[in-house]
A and B are shown apart, each in its own frame.
Chain A
């Protein structure tokens, strides 16, 4: 079964989503991620969606719930690299992803997570 790789960068975990999401892949990602947060004692999670041209309500919800799970395990989540067209579509859909922090790219995301607070 295909899986989305999770890379460890010091205290942070980097997840790059490059393929179309579906239920089972999303479940697998959430399983893997929560496990890795605990195992690696990660303090932050970066979810990179710069390769996605289309983000529908399903992926939007998946990202929100993943961020909530990480928060419970005391890791902050930053969503990075959203394309302008995706941002406009999500806003038109009424999905504002409240509670998820965002950054322009991975570099900015790391800066944000290293900052205290």
Chain B
């Protein structure tokens, strides 16, 4: 009997499913902090699906490598379980303990079944332990992957939220930029701005950088790109909201903003824009 194969494990799993399931559920429930009926029945259902699959994979695969084809079904079930638990707000530890808590009842059974061959038992225990460690780590990986997806989605949502283009006046648009400008955001700002220029037929766009914390050469380059793209579409750009420190930084860095109209405040920029488009605003005199 080769010790590299999963024959023993498969036999034990196939012959004692009910016993294992009970032991497993007990172990799992003692570890989970939150206990309610729904979770309990769900766990039992997941465990009932998991055990036969593991038994099949062990019988079929003959290998402890979970990357082998035979373990595909087991892995996809684990993936499903981790994602379900992620949505329910379980921690990675709780998710992984689903797999780890099967080890105890399983080892107990192996000890009974293989009591007459201690060397084989030791070997089997080590191999099975490694196998379940791998499966447990797999669930943690999946859990983290799920979280990364959530973060990614939030990043995209944030990106869309943070780049509005508003119409200030007839033919005048404003782009209040908030947060750091990187190339991905510049791309979105540019696309939004240019589309809005077409939609509204605006002749002047005011890019307000009051909310941009720092302007380095890269950010300045991105700003100039946006200005150049708007100009190609036939709209002039004014950059406003330049704070004193930022004016100093721009000059120290040697960034050339000579070709762009720059104003300290949005109000000043609007004044220029109104003059250019031939509109004017007056204070009403109340007698």
Taking Cβ atoms with an 8 Å cutoff, the residues of A that contact B are 79-80, 82, 84, 86-88, 90-92, 96-97, 102-105, 108-109
Contacts and interface: CB of A to CB of B under 8 A. Distances in A.
Interface string B193-231: 011011001010000000000000000000001001111
30 contacts: A79-B232, A84-B190, A84-B191, A84-B195, A84-B197, A84-B229, A87-B230, A87-B233, A88-B187, A88-B191, A88-B229, A90-B229, A90-B232, A91-B190, A91-B225, A91-B228, A91-B229, A91-B232, A97-B232, A102-B231, A102-B233, A102-B234, A103-B234, A104-B197, A104-B198, A104-B235, A105-B201, A108-B203, A108-B234, A109-B234
A44 B235 CA distance: 19
A93 B84 CA distance: 46
Contacts, number: 54
A3 B71 CA distance: 67
A115 B190 CA distance: 29
A95 B195 CA distance: 20
A82 B233 contact: yes
A80 B198 CA distance: 12
Contact of B198 (A79, A84, A102): A84
A84 B233 contact: yes
Given A91-B225, A97-B232, 16 more contacts: A82-B233, A84-B195, A84-B198, A88-B187, A88-B190, A88-B229, A90-B232, A91-B232, A96-B231, A96-B232, A102-B231, A104-B197, A104-B233, A104-B234, A105-B201, A109-B234
**For A97, A102, A105, which residue has the most chain B Cβ atoms within 10 angstroms?**
A102
A87 B232 contact: yes
A105 B195 CA distance: 14
The 5 tightest CB contacts between A and B, nearest first, are: A84-B194, A103-B234, A87-B232, A102-B234, A104-B234
A90 B234 CA distance: 14
Contacts of B195: 84
B96 to A, nearest CB: 46
Nearest to A111: B203
B201 A82 contact: no
A91 B222 CA distance: 10
Contacts of B235: 104
Contacts of B203: 104, 108
A92 B233 CA distance: 15
A80 B191 CA distance: 18
A82 B191 contact: no
Nearest to B192: A84
B277 to A, nearest CB: 12
Contacts of B194: 84, 87-88
Most interface-central of A79, A82, A84, A105 (chain B CB within 10 A): A84
A82 B157 CA distance: 29
Of A80, A92, A96, the most chain B CB neighbours within 10 A belong to A96
